[in-house]
Structure 1
């Protein structure tokens, strides 16, 4: 038998889809009245609904429809109110509907493959919850995918439907536990032509830097990860190259006393407020696992740096709520959310990654002053240098009982490979965290490089200003490739490009640019707010930026 395939539905499929819908739901099942045109469609078909098509060779044999949240309505709205099904009011829910297979192919794996493809598509677009109106006689297939009855049923014509739902996390767990071996066995025979990988196997947070594994350092532009385009300060290079044999064989200071003192001097805070770590991820894991339990309530900004969702939801299992933003946080909404949410921890990223929006320091200080005293506020300032260190909350964090500032030295100081970061918090919080810090947490090269970097603020201030100029030039050049693109310069060392709805999806753009040795970051899995159309591009030097523009064009 010719191998089965899965691909996106196209405009050319529309007539076939509408005819099959009529044949099954009007003529066969009696859900709708037959019509003279022998085609069945509805209002959602013009609102951004997505079709995935199963094929045998080049012949379509089945389809499934997905309603994304940006369509603005659901097929379930025809039957149930939001009071009946409040999950529909959540901002990251996707609806799977009208999974249909041609009668001649119903004894093949086409149906289960369509369901799996729909779930993978939802995951790839940042969905966190799925609802489906599945025919009652096909309930086993929906349950096998991880969906569970909500207790609601719908009667449409002569057909009874069960309303089912699940979180994406539940579906992923079910897939890993029950179907991993089956996928391994069946995948080689599937012609997978969708714009996301067939498997989602990572147990951690996905980060950029995919090009590193190719070992093509000089031929690839790694614009998917936000490493600095410029070299570290001359003093850093001298510290690393003066006596590399000594650096390699010598144990570092056990608790990085010299580096902590240098950070305290550079940031104007007492040394007892400083905690160091091997990158911000080290500090996030260490602090959050001390502060939080599965009963903790956490507020995250959405979209936001994915490590925070991974640690709070996947590692600790906290009760997480998201504050959806378009670009920057609305101060009024954030203040209201903190006042009424009963949160144990709120995470703010300023400037935000991946949206690039930011709030002035004075605004954040006002928000922190109005927050409930029991709510810890974690401010990630990995990119604060690009909007001015005067906007940092480091000074407040050194004295506040509930504010902690996290600063990575990777992106602003060109030290990503050395893994150095620090927290500033009140002395009691810092002392408690240092008790859980292992000895020699930072290598000797990392400590010496970080000290040298902090001693040359003028060098880095100049590089940050250069970055702003390069970002503007890159934005203008990308915009010139297509006036219908939306290019957002952000406020750090990256920019965002959103494709028009009629163009290629973000995953397709990323994949095609890779063929030219250009690695960009598809933001689709981070949040539905990107609608599968936005890529993030790190600012590089002029030569690399020109290559990015050429590949994008």
Structure 2
């Protein structure tokens, strides 16, 4: 295959070829379906499926079909009930179907490339599991790529299939480990037109922060920061308090060369005073991620079971699933419910007694929704004694201190509250955070904290910030006003957009079905030096259509709105596989 090899989402012209190839293979060659005079074999899910196509020049090589969980139905529903195949309901998988290659290309890398492309497309939409039907005579091949039979056999025409499943992360890792050389070659040869990067991130965790790449991670071109709108991370739009700037400017050479208090004693004392908490209930870290890794690494093992909300801040899934290897379940949050955490559903899940840890981000990132403290207190009070609760209050300042569960955490050994000073206090670059736990738990974590966990500049800044609550309260109120104006300006761009404002220093914009994906809009905005966050990899509940935008100052918000408008204007509707089946044309089964 040469450099003219292309991998793309199917366009309307591709669909006629797909129907014709499907007839040649599954009707004429394999006998799964009866031949039809029209020489075309369509699919009952053609209006909802996504097709990825490999082509070389004008010649189409092969395709693979994907059915996302938000469609609400699968091809497998024709053969098995949801009771017979519970994973369709419980795991909300993406169905991978009808991986088909033209005969002359079957001994090339076309099929592996299409399967890899399917995995990357699914991962970019937050998919965690795939389900497929594989011909029984090819079962060894399916096992080799990491798929496992679930114990269900399906018959269709002359063919027999096994129902197969696999985790997206595991399948991707297996592909990149076993076929690294082939993938590296294909990356250089393929015109990759999907709205997801060819290769996954090395650490497997999807963060924001692409804006710093545009500035220059080698720090040689920091002047670029003046033209970049970094709305893909949730850093504060305002500067730190005057006292913070004064503390950092007084003697920066001394602050840089001097070792800080080894246990951050002064910072701990200041937090205790500001939050009216006993100092022995506190532990500090270089940002909340430091505390998450340190605490979870102490408490959890691969045998542990964890409950996360879905969507949820991606660091938690990364640490529990990929770093520690825990068994992770998810409590789905629903768009139709305003993304709120339903206390009854949360309580029912927690009361099962299965969980070693339940994580609640409140206000939630990325939904921005806040669960009232009284509701969470009731749920926790009724939960089993064995279950620990981790409450992330990084954005609680936008709601108010009375909604904090820090007081509960200081006395209840089941509860830990983690609070970042980065976002609320404009200290993201300095990295400072703390957690609150009953004294024995806090002491254990302090024992496992290395000396000098927070740098001297960060300690100086954090102490000064905590001493100026009036400044930050004013900035938080101003953030809410800026957010409201930004939401109104974005909503006026197109009535088909859904703008969700919530309570924190960001908002979410969902694009209409059938239009450009969130990834396409984010990429287009970058052409204007405006960086936004595609939320798709965090959860399939965003359906690849939701963009998160951090609130910036008035001038930068104006640039965000202009860039978003330019992106919408510049993007023609993406490939839309909405070809409805004409009367009298046969519908194919679910072969893969």
**TM-score normalised by the chain length of structure 1:** 0.97
1:216-247 CA-to-partner distances (Å, cap 9, x unmatched) read 21111111110000000000000000111111
Spell out the pairing of 1:356-375 with structure 2 (5 A cutoff). 356-375=368-387
1:354 to 355, 366, 372: 366
Counterpart-to-counterpart distance in 1, 2:276 and 2:408: 11
Aligned to 1:522: 534
Q: Which residue of 2 aligns with 1:65?
A: 65
- Distance (whole Å) between structure 2 residues aligned to residue 366 and residue 159 of structure 1: 54
Task: Between 354-363 and 448-457, report the one with greater CA deviation.
Answer: 354-363
Please, what is the CA RMSD of the aligned residues?
1.4
CA-to-partner distance for each residue in 1:333-362, whole Å, 9 max, x for gaps? 011111114211110000000011111122
Per mean C-alpha deviation after superposition, the further-off stretch among 171-180 and 457-466 is 171-180
- SS in structure 1 opposite 2:544? coil
Q: Which residue of 2 aligns with 1:393?
A: 405
Residue of structure 2 in register with 1:305 after alignment: 313
Partner of 2:579: none
Q: C-alpha displacement at 1:549, in angstroms?
A: 0.7
Deviation at 1:91, TM superposition (A): 4.0
Q: Superposed, which structure 2 residues align to 1:38-437 within 5 Å?
A: 38-46=39-47, 48-215=48-215, 216-326=224-334, 327-437=339-449
Q: Secondary structure at the match of 1:217?
A: helix
CA distance in 2, matches of 1:94, 1:341: 29
User: What is the alpha-carbon distance in structure 1 between the residues aligned to residue 169 and residue 119 of structure 2?
Assistant: 11
Distance 1:113 1:316 in 2: 30
**1:371, distance to aligned residue in structure 2 (A):** 1.5
Q: Post-superposition shift, 1:518?
A: 1.0
1:24 lines up with 2:25 in the alignment: yes
Please report how far the alpha carbon of residue 138 of structure 1 lies from its aligned counterpart in structure 2 after TM superposition: 4.2
Aligned counterparts of 2:106 and 2:517: Cα–Cα separation in 1:
31
User: What SS does the corresponding residue of 1:417 show, helix, strand or coil?
Assistant: coil
Matches of residues 490-529 of structure 1 in structure 2 within 5 Å? 490-529=502-541
Q: Give the C-alpha shift of residue 102 in structure 1.
A: 2.1
User: Which whole-Å CA distance do the structure 2 matches of 1:39 and 1:318 have between them?
Assistant: 47
Where 1:187 maps in the other structure, the secondary structure is: helix
Q: Distance in 2 between matches of 1:374 and 1:139?
A: 42
How many residues in Structure 1 have an aligned counterpart in Structure 2? 552
Q: Distance in 1 between matches of 2:16 and 2:169?
A: 35
Indicate conservation of the 8 Å contact 2:490/2:561, yes or no.
yes
- Write the distance in 2 (CA, Å) between the matches of 1:214 and 1:325: 33
Q: Which one is further off, 223-232 or 144-153?
A: 144-153
State the Cα deviation string for residues 433-476 of structure 1 (Å, max 9, x = none). 11111111111110110000001111111111111111111111
Question: C-alpha deviations, 1:76-99, integer Å up to 9, x for none?
Answer: 111123343222122431110011
Are residues 1:486 and 2:487 paired?
Answer: no
* Preserved contact between residue 29 and residue 158 of structure 1 (Cα < 8 Å): yes
1:65-122 CA distance string (max 9 Å, x none)? 0011011111111112334322212243111001112233323322221111111111
| Maintained 8 Å contact 1:5/1:55 | yes
Asked if the contact 2:369/2:503 (under 8 Å) is kept, the reply is yes
Which residue matches 1:6?
7
* Structure 1 pair 528–359 and aligned structure 2 pair: CA distance change class (3 A): same
SS of structure 1 residue aligned to 2:46: helix
Q: Contact between 2:247 and 2:464, CA under 8 Å: does it hold in 1?
A: yes
From 456, 459, 462, the counterpart of 1:444 = 456
Alignment counterpart, residue 544 of structure 1, candidates 529, 537, 556: 556
Structure 1: distance between partners of 2:282 and 2:82: 48
Judge conservation of contact 2:206–2:538 (CA < 8 Å) in 1.
Answer: no
Q: Structure 1, residues 374-412: CA drift from partner, whole Å, max 9, x if none? A: 111110000001111211111111111211110000110
- Structure 1 residue aligned with 2:481: 469
Secondary structure of 2:225's counterpart equals coil
* Deviations 1:506-541 (CA, angstroms, capped at 9, x unpaired): 111111111111111111111110001111110001
CA deviation after TM superposition for structure 1 residue 204, in Å: 4.6
Larger relative contact order (CA 8 Å, sep ≥ 6): 2
Higher mean alpha-carbon deviation, 131-140 vs 34-43, is at 131-140
Kept in 2: contact 1:489–1:496 (CA 8 A): yes
Asked whether the 8 Å contact 2:498–2:511 carries over to 1, the reply is: yes
Aligned to 1:160, what secondary structure does the other structure show? strand
CA distance in 1, matches of 2:487, 2:375: 28
Whether the aligned pair in 2 keeps the contact of 1:69 and 1:91 (CA below 8 Å) is: no
CA contact (8 A) 1:485 1:498 kept: yes
3-state DSSP of counterpart to 2:226 = coil
Normalised by the size of structure 2, how large is the TM-score?
Answer: 0.91
Structure 2 residues without counterparts, runs of 5 or longer? 216-223, 566-592
- Please tell me whether the aligned partners of residues 116 and 172 of structure 2 are also in contact (alpha carbons under 8 angstroms): no
Deviation at residue 293 of structure 1 after TM alignment: 1.4
